[in-house]
Structure 1
Amino acid sequence: MYKILVVDDEPRVSAGIRNFLLSSDMNITAVETAVNGFEAIDYLRMDQFDLVLTDIQMGRMSGIELMENIYMEQWNVPVIVISAHEKFDFAKKSLRLGARDYLVKPVERTELLRVVRKALTRKELPDTRPQPEPASIRRQERRDEWLMELVTERNLTPQDMEQITGELGGLLHGPFYGVISIRIDYSRAGFSRQQVTLQDRKLLKYAALNIMNETLAEWNGVTFNGFGHSIISLIQLSAEDREDPRVSVHSQIQMIGQMIAMNLKRHLNTEAVIGLSTLGEGIATLPGLLEEADTAAGWNSVHPGHQVFYYGDFAMQEHLNRGQQPDTELTAQESEAAAPGVISRITSFIQNNYRNPALKIQDISEEVHFSAAHLGYIFKREMRMNLWDYVTALRMEEAKHLMATTDKKRYEVAYAVGYESPEHFSRMFKRVLGLTPAEFRKQARGGERAEAEA
């Protein structure tokens, strides 16, 4: 049984897709519709969906921005984008961000069925592939040696770097790079979760390298063996990608980390700790970026419930709490003690801005200079609740107050507490409180009259 969310600012289009999917033979039991990205985000925070179909060109929040929000909060939800012919460049960008497929308006029914069926029943990547020939293995080992030289040796001359990049045959072209340090738990893996023997670890690592190559293909990824059982990946961004105003680069980096963890879990059933560096310009920055990625992965010892760590988050936390440069490291105890101060900044910002219907997790993360993923993690850890449950609770408390103490109409209350659509406000109100706004007001006013009479 599948549950799907359709997002389009043309209600006629989303209603048509909903009715068609419900009448199909794909065991789709529910299709919700949203008229903009903010409504869609609310639905995703309240329910679990198996698939999202979204228009690309929408007012207030584009499909690209919606995808970014989805992957920051529910990175395992597949997305299909719907694009007009003249907006095909947006569709290509969405595919780079991880969309499963795209549809072109006007949507043809047979194509809609094909794409949705493919997304819902997508086969997993193979765990292993045919082993390469010995000559190929030697070339791979030589390539890995050159790459390790680039990411570990700080004293390479420009001539050395030119020689190594020449040996790599144009594999690295940047100009912006990020480094990912992957530490896989080889003790237990596979769908039986059996202990992995020493001889099987080589095969498991080979499978992991294949999965990394698949995952990072859209980011010109280069993956190779690191020290011990670690794996190192490089991502490359062009200047155009780096400066694209439609997509946050830091959000992309976080999304890549989440996708790696998800794919390793899905296809090998093994856990991994992912350390992500910031972006650097030029090959000469690679050794420093590897140090950042390794430092970030090391934070798993302080936060064992977290898998993906972005160096910029912890560097910024040190900067905020010490008033020093981000390269000053906090001890584990100092980091834990500093968390309540960060949470205070987050809750204060939310309390001052929850009435804004356009409030996004990126707005909050920019205020405290954390990535969206890390922000959500530390908030839930300290507050014992989801960040957006906190936002919704503030909105509902204010709505209850206005419904009980004023004569404001439903749409006025909706706008006052941060909802653009009165209908969507009513759905959220009933879902959270179990009553419609009108029923709540009647109940509240009845209680007031009874108290006055008494």
Structure 2
Amino acid sequence: MLKLLIVDDEPMIREGIRRVAGLHCPAYGTVYEAADGDEALTTAMNQMPDVIITDIQMPRLGGIEFIRQLRAENPEIVVLIISGYDDFEYAQNALKLGVKDYLLKPVDSADLAERLNAIARELGRRRVFLQDMEEMQQKVREGMALFRERFLRQLIGGSVPEERIAEQARAVECRVDGAYYGVAIVELAGRREADSRFSETLAAAIAEQLAKRPAPGVEEVHALFSSDYELVLILGSNRSSREGSFKDFHRYLTDLGIALQKQAGMEAAISAGNVHPGPPGIHRSHQEAQEAKLYHFTAHSQPIIHYEEIAGARRIPGDQTADAMFRRLVMHVKLQEQEAALAALSEIVDYFASSPGTNPYWVKLKLMELAGALLHLLEEWGINAAVFFAGQENNPYVTIHNAKGLAELSDWMSGFLQSCQEEIAKVRMNKSAGYIEKAKAYLETAIADSQLSIADVASRLFLNPNYLRQLFRQQTGESFVEYVTRLRMERALELLKDPTLKIQDVAEKVGFEEQRYFSSCFKKFYQFTPTEYRESIR
């Protein structure tokens, strides 16, 4: 069972949160309370809660400083802030301190329960997630699956025993007797759908014919397609040195890339393995070419990548920089700062693009984490994220996994981010309208109170008066004062129809202590006095 610590200087708020947790959040077995940051820090150090809900403005030690000191001792505790202050500086400080969420009062009970339950589920999944991450990182180290088809596919796949290579090559009339070999993977791109000439059959025919052209020093060229637009080349040489063979292979691949572009309108991303002695080295070179191919994901402007170029640069950087960028982006989404969120996404893409030696599997894993964070945010707002999983073509995780390049993925992530922001904006607008309806309902019952103010209504809704004033203008097109004045005048108009009520009685029933002031306001609103109105309806 999880342990929860509630920190707020208002006993009623603490009791309300405790009641929500007790009734709707079964994962939380123990609930502690603290009235200020000092008490909360002592309780947190002694009881080690899993989740803390804290206010910001509290006596003695405020929420932000409490979190800062807590993080120094235990950075793993999940912290949520519940505050009536819709202030970017507070949110920014919370972001820097790794706060899980920043909720504005009043917090809907169902919403709070859902968020607490979501955190409980997330904590429960954390161990499984770490195990899944380890498995995916293992796949990064192991590389891609090997091709297994016919002799050449078996050869590059390493399934042909070394002592049987020559025998099987003769059986299929395939020359494999060079002194040195290298394998290259040529990924074709370009016109495809945009040019009707670029059919699969024509692409294969053009690429194979260009690839098999004779070239100085390259005595063997075996070409086969591993997919519609991916050509695997096995290059053989009888040069006396590995260096000489490498030079010939590089010149051949450079000329092939140029020929594909000029003669067929195809762009080619070429990944080359190292040069190895004899046919047994083909399998190893193919593995290296596969690994080099991954690095086109970020180094998309580089036409040829040799394994040797990335062998010393392969790395998985620390997560801190990317994670900080992700938190900023998510916070911008929460604050409805759409342009800032898109700019943050652009910054993330630029960060990945500026590090072409970074392991591409790591880049995809981090982008999957970001997509997961955005989907989780949708769930927190009560939005059904199933729309993003309607078929594999819409599944964010499948899309990220299948992406061929960072530029392509950047466009998709931008659209995905905008869709998430649009869904949240719809829900937020509906929630704002709900606040105004509650305010109107309260005003209907409190209209006789001559001291009625926006502060009174805001306190009933646990909102900042300035925020409520802004919502009133947005939702009704009137200021709070204009709305209350109109409500009082319309109510007075109805009451004046009752001849048994004195004008002083009507004034008091709509919040005016003095009849003279009421009559003045009534005339200013309707252009006639209460007495004149009564005479007109007799």
**Structure 1-normalised TM-score?**
0.35
Higher relative contact order, chain-length normalized (CA < 8 Å, sep 6+): 1
